Structure 1
């Protein structure tokens, strides 16, 4: 159900946000009622916040419900890695508005208010992933008619350094690239849910102490695709029941002449929904995490380590600075890549037989 909900949100983005190098809403946004438009703005605001946190170097994320006293107002997200690796975690509160009267002053005020109400009270506290050492409040607004767009950020003030540095801690610290295992597994649970790999989600839940042990005889198959000089893994299960996973657009189009126009149009639209804008994972990130996962399931690793050290990827398509040849004629990047390895592919490359990998819970890759 959650995977289907995620796909429906992606469709909303496709229809209600225009493609291009600057943010603009489709005129169709005005067809939504006030409550629906407000909810959609909040989800876009959360996405903008995640893009910003990736741009700042943070890698792993979890929902803010992991904070203690979650009944009280709290930030939307918790982030780890990057500048706070081995030091703690940071909070991020997200806000979005597509009101006709939205202004820069509104967003600045909203960012400050939400910071003092939902972020600052938690600074210095301990949560399930470690100590909260910093926080942000991000407010994003866009006028649906004029396309005037505003972004404001409020964050924790960094205290001035003392004249003498503090002595190093007596206890050993995690490596510079490490992060709490709890937040890494929370991030990848969301990632594989978006990718349509429910068996991996079930194993993550079981290792975290939720649900029954899944059947370790069931393997997960991934198809590999090259795009923009990188290789990505797509869960084969996410492509069903549209067509066989090795039957992609070139082969399908070759038989289009034998189908009635209405039937061809119906199936081609379904193919577009399946093979355009596909969630995937960068190959190194996927192999690293799944190897760790099978090691824990098979008893080759600690049952649940305190920290893990997995590679982070350099983000792509999230911030300005990339050369225009990286984009296609519609000003779209071939893919968007986040630091934890999650990617959104604009389309799958055309091939008759993509490479396949199978992952076994006990034995790893076959």
Structure 2
């Protein structure tokens, strides 16, 4: 990675980007699913650095690659964005961006475009995500991501193409043209086609761009046109039935792939290994030892985090496991110093909301015992997002217990905490692949 020159002031302010254009594209048949109603587009998207950094990492880890490679892709997302985006309420790239090589600028723009797409889709109500490479084994162009949940729950999946451009040529007109062009080329041909996670019933192309040296950004959305419904949509089928069009050899529900990315970001390698076995991407893991998670309160919510993702190895060697039960170790002065030196604010800490995490781990144990991803339906909660919003009307930062918490929470339960340790008492939760939660 290129060396970044840090500015005097890092990005901390919430940014609002107005929707520049929104176009709808005709499709036959229309609608693909008679009971699907597309969420209404919003006039603006508001987000902070933590939300965008988390979304960049989420989209970078949807591919079924090896955990070591994928985890490396997401480590510096927050550190990069903090110094590449100005601390203003309008989106603006800092002078540091011009110090990057051309290839780095293109990569940063593409990652931000993917992150903005994930924020927009989550804000529209979609929950579960997967890579869309499964749509074609050939080199035919296809969009980037598949989403389920929200208005598509029980009906199928929707397709989303992401595009980002940080160039002198980026204008409202060029970004809008890119959204339309990419819809026609990479989304439209795959609407009303099968996928491993359900029939593709709708599509989006989302383009984001900004001119270096100028204040403001452009956000354009192109999507499948659906005529106004003559009657309200009926209630979707039970989640246990699975999305329509799912094939029996799909390798698992989309929730499994979404949480593979989530637990990879958290550093829960044991969980990722067992998911890979279930989806046929790896041999059965030899390590049957339980995984350990920290359970703690933060910003009025309870989260689970992976201990080994933040605690340096020398602490375990020096203190042994007994330090977890030693209350003197958790004195605030010690805790602050450890986190200041070994976690800091550069990367943040990926965690998962307690109910979402425990529900998934419980379902995962059932799948492991059965040796089958289809016999044990996943019944998982969804949450309201925190840290980003389509209209900016809701409070972006959670201040239930006291001010100063800065984090982003997604509908599937994944969260990124910018300054993690303000929790009170910390408990330990263990998960055994075959024995379950303990």
- TM bin (shorter chain): 0.7 to 0.9
Question: Runs of 4+ in structure 1 displaced over 6 angstroms?
Answer: none
**2:192 maps to which of 87, 103, 124:** 124
Asked if the contact 1:93/1:137 (under 8 Å) is kept, the reply is yes
Asked if the contact 1:250/1:351 (under 8 Å) is kept, the reply is no
Following TM superposition, by how much is the alpha carbon of 1:303 offset from its aligned partner in structure 2, in angstroms? 4.4
Distance 1:236 1:346, change over 3 A: same
Instruction: Report the counterpart of residue 261 of structure 1 in structure 2.
Output: none
Gaps of 5+ in 2: 1-67, 247-251, 317-323
Distance 1:71 1:336, change over 3 A: same
2:270 maps to 1:202:
no
Alpha-carbon deviations, 1:293-347, whole Å to 9, x = none? 1122123x8543485331111111111223377479xx98621010111101122
Q: Aligned-pair RMSD on alpha carbons?
A: 3.1
Instruction: Report the counterpart of residue 365 of structure 1 in structure 2.
Output: 437
2:353 maps to 1:279:
no
Asked if the contact 1:235/1:280 (under 8 Å) is kept, the reply is yes
Asked if the contact 1:99/1:142 (under 8 Å) is kept, the reply is yes
Kindly indicate whether structure 1 or structure 2 has the higher relative contact order, using CA contacts under 8 Å at least 6 residues apart: 2
Gaps of 5+ in 1: 257-263
Instruction: Report the counterpart of residue 419 of structure 2 in structure 1.
Output: 347
**1:335 maps to which of 403, 407, 420:** 407
Whole-Å separation in 2 of the counterparts to 1:33 and 1:249: 45
Q: Secondary structure at the match of 1:94?
A: strand
Instruction: Report the counterpart of residue 31 of structure 2 in structure 1.
Output: none
Following TM superposition, by how much is the alpha carbon of 1:145 offset from its aligned partner in structure 2, in angstroms? 1.1
Distance 1:285 1:139, change over 3 A: same
Whole-Å separation in 2 of the counterparts to 1:157 and 1:332: 42
**2:176 maps to which of 85, 108, 111:** 108
Asked if the contact 2:299/2:405 (under 8 Å) is kept, the reply is no
2:154 maps to 1:86:
yes
Distance 1:188 1:253, change over 3 A: closer
**2:118 maps to which of 30, 50, 57:** 50
Q: Secondary structure at the match of 2:388?
A: coil
Q: Secondary structure at the match of 1:190?
A: helix
Following TM superposition, by how much is the alpha carbon of 1:4 offset from its aligned partner in structure 2, in angstroms? 2.4
Whole-Å separation in 1 of the counterparts to 2:155 and 2:424: 48
Whole-Å separation in 2 of the counterparts to 1:7 and 1:208: 25
Whole-Å separation in 2 of the counterparts to 1:349 and 1:19: 24
Instruction: Report the counterpart of residue 307 of structure 2 in structure 1.
Output: 236
Whole-Å separation in 2 of the counterparts to 1:49 and 1:308: 26
